[in-house]
Amino acid sequence: MIGLLQRVSQAEVSVAGKGIGKIGAGLLVLVGIEPQDIDSSVDKLLHKILNYRVFEDEGGQMNHSLKQIEGGLLLVPQFTLAADTRKGLRPGFSTAASPAEGERLYNLLVAHAHTAHAEVGQGEFGADMRVSLVNEGPATFILQV
């Protein structure tokens, strides 16, 4: 399971011109799901997302987590993160989970996030989404579990 974390001052996702998820300061996480991912992958990734120290403390060091700053979390499914780009000039998607399993695990991640964290927004699996953000830093990290 892949999480591309982007530290943001604000982020929003919309489908067909309608906003469906929005946060203030926090993390926008693009989520990619691979065939080997299982239910426990969801819990491992969520734990890392909530506790990964990417927010600055009083001394300017990255010592605070999303939980510590009580920031927003916007989860957006993005199967293209699991693309195979090792050869050729076009991505291959045999390295991504099947749509049914990807959707199931993404929905499980969203459900667990709502239980574990106060402010959670989400994208729509399989939709043509528009994502806007103000990246802070910029600070972007790839987490894999």
Q: Residue 27 is part of a domain; what is its CATH number?
A: 3.50.80.10
- CB-based contacts of 116: which residues, under 8 Å, 6+ apart? 46, 50
Q: What is the pLDDT of residue 99?
A: 95
pLDDT band at 145 (very low <50, low <70, confident <90, very high): very high
pLDDT > 70 in the chain, percent: 100
Q: What is the mean pLDDT of residues 72-83?
A: 96
For residue 6, how many other CB atoms are within 10 A of its CB? 22
Domain count, the chain: 1
85 catalytic residue (yes or no): no
Catalytic member of 80, 93, 140, 144: 80
Using DSSP, state whether 15 is helix, strand or coil.
strand
DSSP 25-94: SEEEEEEE--TT--HHHHHHHHHHHHH---EE-TTS-EEE-HHHHT-EEEEEE-GGGG-B-SSSSS-B-T
Q: Which domain holds residue 47?
A: 2-144
pLDDT band at 92 (very low <50, low <70, confident <90, very high): very high
79 catalytic residue (yes or no): yes
pLDDT in tens, 101-128: 999 999 999 999 999 999 999 999 999 9
140 catalytic residue (yes or no): no
Angstrom CA distances, 120 to 76, 89, 95, 109, stand at 11, 36, 28, 11
Catalytic member of 78, 115, 140, 141: 78
Catalytic member of 79, 125, 141, 144: 79
What's the token pair of residue 30? 């693009």
pTM above 0.85, yes or no: yes
Closest among 74, 98, 103, 99 to 3, alpha carbons compared: 74
pLDDT > 90 in the chain, percent: 99
